[in-house]
């Protein structure tokens, strides 16, 4: 569930035609923390392990993502996310 602003950001990626080359990606959450809590918004930080397979090669990386949530109509919605370097 996402906010209208987030939907505008991601909808183009969902509707894009598929690539001819196979790329598989799996993201596993290893840990979470509540970074800020200021209802009706909150920020969480997730530590992840991302595994990507392309052209017969598998690559695994650890990466952090910060997700901002807002509460609207009784639901917590994703308003933004940012992968950290």
Average pLDDT over residues 7-25: 80
What is the pLDDT at residue 50? 95
Residues 46-76 have pLDDT tens digits of 999 999 998 889 999 999 999 999 998 899 9
- Evaluate whether 43 touches 67 at the Cβ level (below 8 Å): yes
Listed residue (77, 57, 75, 62) closest to 7, CA to CA: 77
pLDDT band for position 82 (cuts 50, 70, 90): very high
pTM of the model: 0.82
Cβ–Cβ contacts within 10 Å for residue 65, how many? 16
- Coil, strand or helix at 13: helix
Q: Can you give the length of the chain in residues?
A: 85
């Amino acid at each position: 569930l996402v906010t209208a602003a987030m939907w505008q950001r991601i909808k183009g990626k969902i509707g894009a035609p598929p690539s001819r080359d196979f790329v598989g990606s799996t993201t596993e959450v290893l840990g979470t923390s509540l970074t800020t809590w200021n209802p009706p918004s909150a920020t969480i930080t997730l530590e992840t392990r991302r595994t990507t397979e392309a052209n017969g090669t598998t690559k695994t990386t650890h990466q952090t993502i910060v997700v901002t949530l807002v509460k609207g109509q009784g639901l917590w919605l994703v308003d933004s996310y940012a992968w950290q370097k």
